[in-house]
């Protein structure tokens, strides 16, 4: 069974990209994390250029939301579906996380 993570990277225009990956895992006990990505994807090119990425682990109820980050790019290589994803800024690298929406309700 493969995990589902969302990799966050910085785009050349200063915006942020999020993309789901199944082939991903922590590597060793230090701060290393590996994922497999085709060089055709922006994610691969962004990591090479920026030397940084974030990793978000969606909860089960977020799987559909996370899959939006796999939306194909349209004109000018834009990925407008990302606007629907809640994000949080990263604090150690220049990047964003796919935020975990917190659902609350009143019992009264």
Ligand X SMILES: Cc1cc2nc3c(=O)[nH]c(=O)nc-3n(C[C@H](O)[C@H](O)[C@H](O)COP(=O)(O)O)c2cc1C
Q: What is the DSSP letter of 45?
A: H
**Which CB atom, from 77 or from 89, has the smaller least distance to ligand X?**
77
Residues binding ligand X (CB under 6 A): 4, 17, 19-23, 36-38, 41-43, 67, 70, 79
Q: Which residues contact 37 (CB under 8 A, 6 or more apart)?
A: 7, 19, 21, 43, 44, 47
Between 10 and 79, whose beta carbon lies closer to ligand X? Answer: 79
* Closest approach of ligand X to the CB of residue 22, in Å: 4
Shortest Å, Cβ 56 to ligand X: 13
Provide CB contacts within 8 A for 90, sequence distance 6+. Answer: 8, 54, 96, 97
């Amino acid at each position: 069974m493969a995990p589902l993570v969302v990799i966050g990277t910085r785009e050349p225009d200063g915006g942020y990209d999020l993309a789901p990956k199944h082939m991903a895992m922590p590597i060793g006990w230090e701060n290393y994390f590996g994922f497999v990505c085709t060089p055709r994807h922006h994610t691969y090119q962004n990591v090479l250029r920026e030397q940084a990425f974030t990793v978000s682990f969606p909860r089960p109820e977020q799987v559909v939301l996370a899959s939006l980050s796999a939306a194909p790019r349209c004109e000018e290589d834009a990925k407008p579906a990302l606007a629907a994803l809640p994000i949080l800024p990263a604090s150690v690298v220049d990047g964003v996380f796919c935020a975990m929406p917190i659902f609350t309700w009143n019992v009264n």
